[in-house]
Amino acid sequence: MATIAHVSDIHCGRTGFKPKLLAACIKEINKLKPDAVVVTGDLTISGYKENYQLAKKYLSKLKSKTLVIPGNHDSRLRGYEYFDEFFGHGNTFLDLPGISIIGIDTTIPDLDEGNVGRGKLRWLVSELKKRPETNLKIVAMHHHLVSIPHTGRERSTVSDAGDVLNALVDAGVDLILCGHKHTPHSWLVNSVAIVNAGSISAVKLRAYINNSYNIIRIEKDSIEVFLKEIGKKPEHMVKYFTSSSKEGLVVKR
């Protein structure tokens, strides 16, 4: 039905950035020819204009349809204004045949933690309701909604995660894509799959975790997620199946 490349936390800048990995990632994705690329924030290291120019230079080489949202690093030092200039509004959407992808800006200027807030949550739910009920619904955000194992003390989930999760479950969302922690992982909460991407090109990584991105293959009755390191074969992470006994997804790892 569709293939989506999920990239996050590229951290373009003078330090803490591996440009060769990002360039190789873009070549791999263009060869894959996915139906869409979703970039879940932290395009830059500090939100400087030169960081954004570099991110734009790389991401403009992607040949597939692309949805890009900001991360906390992008909103530092009023960097959110550069995001609007180079990539458009942080609350955005991309519709594919049978699939709706909506991105939401969870950043708070100059803070690492995230928040959606009532206003943006109303907008998000409103946009979801505009899409056909038969569409598979995906929401993309930078900050994670559920704590991720092996990432230390929790201090930067979305502050209103409970309200957001409740609203997205009620709205029939199938898949939530997040970044932020540079650690790939997947949860199933009620009937919603929450998939986190690692970092493809940041130096800052936790022990035994390598730079990577996700490849998501969507079929009529399933969502399958693969972990992809540059130059290596995709590694199966998880597969979710549509349940025949109830609405939503069930997991088979």
Band of pLDDT at residue 252, cut at 50, 70 and 90: low
Q: Is 108's pLDDT higher than 60? A: yes
Q: Is 230's pLDDT higher than 60? A: yes
Domain spanning 2-252, CATH class: alpha beta
Q: Is 35's pLDDT higher than 90? A: yes
Helix axes 49-59, 19-32, angle to 10 degrees: 30
Angle at 243 between CA 241 and CA 248, to 5 degrees: 85
Report pLDDT for 244: 45
- Beta strand 235-242 with 213-219 is unpaired
Mean pLDDT of the chain: 90
| Structure tokens belonging to residue 194 | 């929450």
Q: Is 70's pLDDT higher than 70? A: yes
Alpha-carbon distances, residue 71 vs 27, 170, 207, 215, 227 (angstroms): 23, 26, 23, 20, 21
Q: What is the pLDDT of residues 156-182, one digit of tens each?
A: 778 898 899 999 999 999 999 999 989
Q: Is 104's pLDDT higher than 70? A: yes
For residue 159, the SS3 value is: coil
Q: What is the mean pLDDT of residues 55-82?
A: 94
Report pLDDT for 248: 55
Looking at residue 25, what DSSP letter applies? H
Nearest by Cα to 99 from 181, 175, 158, 200? 175
Percent above pLDDT 90 for the chain: 70
- Beta strand 99-103 with 36-40 is unpaired
For residues 79 and 66, which has the higher predicted lDDT (pLDDT)? 66
Q: What is the mean pLDDT of residues 3-21?
A: 94
Q: Do the Cβ atoms of 130 and 137 come closer than 8 Å?
A: no
Band of pLDDT at residue 13, cut at 50, 70 and 90: very high
State the residue for tokens 């069930």: 250
Report pLDDT for 250: 61
The 3-class secondary structure across 87-125, one letter per residue, is HCCCCEEEEECCEEEEECCCEECCEEEECCHHHHHHHHH
Alpha-carbon distances, residue 211 vs 46, 97, 165, 198 (angstroms): 20, 31, 28, 7
Alpha carbon distance 63, 246 (integer Å):
38
Report pLDDT for 207: 82
For residues 18 and 252, which has the higher predicted lDDT (pLDDT)? 18
Alpha carbon distance 185, 199 (integer Å):
12
Q: Is 247's pLDDT higher than 60? A: no
Report pLDDT for 4: 98
Q: Is 137's pLDDT higher than 60? A: yes
Q: Domain spans of the chain?
A: 2-252
Nearest by Cα to 196 from 217, 182, 216? 182
Q: Is 220's pLDDT higher than 50? A: yes
Report pLDDT for 51: 95
